[in-house]
A = this chain, B = another copy of it.
Amino acid sequence: MLNTLIVGASGYAGAELATYVNRHPHMNITALTVSAQSNDAGKLLSDLHPQLKGILDLPLQPMSDISEFTRDLDVVFLATAHEVSHDLAPQFLDAGCVVFDLSGAFRVNDAAFYDKFYGFTHQHPDLLEQAVYGLAEWNVEKLKEAKLVAVPGCYPTAAQLSLKPLIDNGLLDLSQWPVINATSGVSGAGRKAAMSNSFCEVSLQPYGMFNHRHQPEIATHLGTEVIFTPHLGNFPRGILETITCRLKPGVTQAQVTEAFQQAYADKPLVRLYEKGVPALKNVVGLPFCDIGFAMQGEHLIVVATEDNLLKGASAQAMQCANIRFGFTETQSLI
């Protein structure tokens, strides 16, 4: 049994993680923590997320010093803000834990990236070097040895799962940048009071045009530029991405199908559509990324869906943990 700590358990992703750990046969929850300043400190997880009443009535403990929690600790999930993860991860690594970070603090191995896109100076370039990017389907071998896993962003997960097989097989004409239109549920903005999240104000609308942090995350890991336009959708959970790209001349439907099959035929959390494209509702509450496509001539449109809190966050974190520790990849997820 792996003793497991969840830091930042009060949020939507944290609550999902707690559920996964709770039902895991080889992991147990050591503690759920929140910032010592949080108003949620001392409350039960199920006070904030009443769907967990009777299932997970554990307290949210204030954490000011990690040493109160690291004794015999094996695993830490950080469901915290970027800068909090940046500061905590090295401490937990020093304490001998394997760290799964759901923030953006270790996703790109380029310290300058953080000044530019996250507004803080990264102090741990060594950890950037060492961190394994947890796009689980593509990094199995590295994950098995990882000490620090940087779980990808929600948008980047679906975008990369869609594009990587095509790019790696050389099917795309990348002189025309892939156009990624993505729509996310409101939970992607986190659990907080804000006018932008207010029920009467939410409405389908693009945001972060040409300046969302996930654009460079996608571009860096794919090794090619993309145009990424996120939208806020009027639903709580889920992401749908419609990705329009240009095929090299002569690429056939069979080649596209083959590229996806080769990448994912044996991957349990990616579901390929042989005909048609996925709808959002079919992944909500489930750990899958669903992928389908349509093409005409040299134009290819890939459609991918996922639950932003699951394959886009907590489920992928747990998938990485399962791979890291040699458990069944889908343990507790399906």
**Which residue on chain B has the smallest CB distance to residue A245?**
B179
Residue numbers in B under 8 Å from A55 (CB-CB): 334
- A73 interface hit (Cβ, 8 Å): no
With A205-B240, A229-B242, A229-B244 as given contacts, are A271 and B199 in contact (CB-CB < 8 Å)?
no
- How many residues from A make CB contacts under 8 Å with B? 64
Contact A204 B235 (CB under 8 A): yes
Given A242-B206, A242-B229, A301-B206, answer yes or no on A51-B200 (Cβ-Cβ < 8 Å): no
Q: In the complex, which of the residues B191, B234, B278, B294 contacts A50, with contact meaning CB atoms closer than 8 Å?
A: B278
> Pick the contact of A290 from B12, B53, B193, B244 — CB < 8 Å?
B53
Complex Cα distance A313/B302, Å? 30
Chain B residue at minimum C-beta to C-beta distance from A194: B193
Residues of B within 8 A of A229 (CB): 242, 244, 301
Are A280 and B242 in contact (CB-based, < 8 A)? no
User: What's the minimum C-beta distance from A73 to chain B, rounded to whole angstroms?
Assistant: 27
A227 at the interface (CB under 8 A from B): yes
For the complex formed, measure the closest distance between the CB of A271 and the CB atoms of chain B, giving whole angstroms: 5
Additional A-B contacts beyond A51-B285, A191-B201 (15; CB < 8 A) = A50-B279, A50-B282, A186-B200, A191-B198, A191-B200, A194-B198, A198-B199, A205-B240, A205-B278, A206-B242, A206-B303, A210-B301, A227-B244, A231-B240, A233-B234
